[in-house]
């Protein structure tokens, strides 16, 4: 079982800039909780995502003596080159959308151009001994009235896998998934591409949290993304209640299922306390 904590996703949409020192304090505590991976920042345009303009500075100040790995999100060639300069980063994440409209909005690229970019990023990541994680955005539907079905997701997933990517997280970008779709999609993809490590980056409102994570777990998923207290989410969701899956609820759910997690509860409580002063 792998747990990925995503403070980057939680912070990126906030308008008020979080001081670098506060980010460092928060991430340092998260690193002591025992998560497998911390999605700590992104190398993207500071004009588009000003909250992440200090990712490099944050990286210089965080405590890397813990066992958690670091993941950084990128959206273009320049971002990939910048991120791959840091030996401390273990994973590079790229949002690849099955929605043409969202791919343009999110990365200013077409899907086809994104595939070519992925080839470049994958080759560069291999040379730098980094792992590439693809977030298959809009994997469960979208708000743009574009055609969506499992075959479409399967088609683009195959193209990504053919490039050599073996870690893919299914992203419920706007919180439209339901248990039936989660189970159906996971079954098809995990059967067709059994060499891929499939994860879930689900968004939800407080009401449907349990049914979504339960469907993913029952399908066999062993990789979950979350953000403490469910902060973050997609600005296109048009629903302030649709945020990330609350990490503390994911942990509680998995413990109830008998999963053994290397989580330090004392530092988890401390992280939740600090989060209250960041996400006001």
pLDDT above 70 for 234: no
CATH of the domain at 232: 3.20.20.70
Provide the token pair at 96: 């690849």
Q: Does the pLDDT at position 242 exceed 80? A: no
Tens-digit pLDDT profile for residues 159-197: 999 999 999 999 998 889 999 999 999 999 999 999 999
Question: To the nearest whole percent, how much of the chain has pLDDT over 90?
Answer: 88
Mean pLDDT of 57-81: 95
Q: Does the structure show a pLDDT above 70 at 236?
A: no
Residue 123 C-alpha from the chain's centroid: 21
Q: Which residues contact 44 (CB under 8 A, 6 or more apart)?
A: 52, 73, 74, 75, 76, 79
Q: Which of 50, 41, 39 is nearest to 15 (CA)?
A: 50
CB 136 within 8 A of CB 180: no
Token representation of residue 21? 């020192």
If one counts the domains in the chain, the total is 1
Neighbours of 70 (CB within 10 A): 20
3 state DSSP class of 106: helix
Whole-model pTM: value is: 0.95
Rounded Cα gap, residues 240 and 230, in angstroms? 11
Provide the pLDDT for residue 151. Answer: 97
What is the 3-class SS of 160-187, one letter each residue?
A: HHHHCCCEEEEECCCCCCCHHHHHHHHH
Distance between CA 233 and CA 240 in Å, rounded? 9
Helix H or strand E encompassing 133: strand 131-137
Domain that holds residue 30: 2-278
């Amino acid at each position: 079982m792998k747990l990925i904590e995503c403070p980057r996703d939680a912070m990126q949409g906030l308008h008020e800039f979080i001081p670098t020192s506060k980010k460092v304090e928060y991430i340092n505590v998260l690193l002591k909780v025992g998560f497998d991976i911390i999605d700590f920042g992104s190398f993207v345009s500071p004009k588009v995502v000003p909250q992440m303009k200090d990712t490099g500075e944050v990286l210089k100040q965080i405590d890397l003596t813990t066992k958690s790995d670091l993941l950084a999100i990128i959206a273009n060639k320049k971002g990939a080159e910048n991120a791959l300069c840091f030996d401390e980063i273990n994973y590079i994440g790229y949002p690849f959308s099955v929605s043409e409209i969202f791919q343009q909005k999110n990365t200013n690229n077409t899907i086809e151009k994104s595939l070519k970019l992925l080839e470049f990023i994958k080759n560069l990541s291999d040379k730098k001994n980094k792992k590439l994680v693809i977030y298959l955005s809009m994997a469960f539907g979208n708000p743009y009235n574009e055609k969506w079905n499992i075959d479409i997701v399967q088609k683009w997933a195959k193209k990504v896998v053919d490039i050599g990517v073996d870690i893919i997280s299914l992203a419920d970008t706007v919180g439209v998934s339901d248990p039936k779709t989660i189970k159906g999609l996971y079954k098809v993809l995990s059967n067709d591409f059994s060499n891929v490590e499939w994860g879930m980056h689900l968004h939800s409102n407080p009401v449907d949290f349990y049914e979504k994570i339960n469907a993913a777990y029952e399908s066999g998923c062993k990789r979950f993304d979350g953000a403490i207290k469910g902060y973050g989410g997609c600005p296109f969701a048009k629903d302030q209640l649709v945020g990330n899956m609350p990490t503390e609820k994911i942990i509680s759910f998995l413990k109830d299922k008998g999963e053994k997690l290397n989580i330090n509860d004392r530092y988890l409580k401390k992280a939740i306390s600090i989060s209250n002063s960041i996400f006001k």
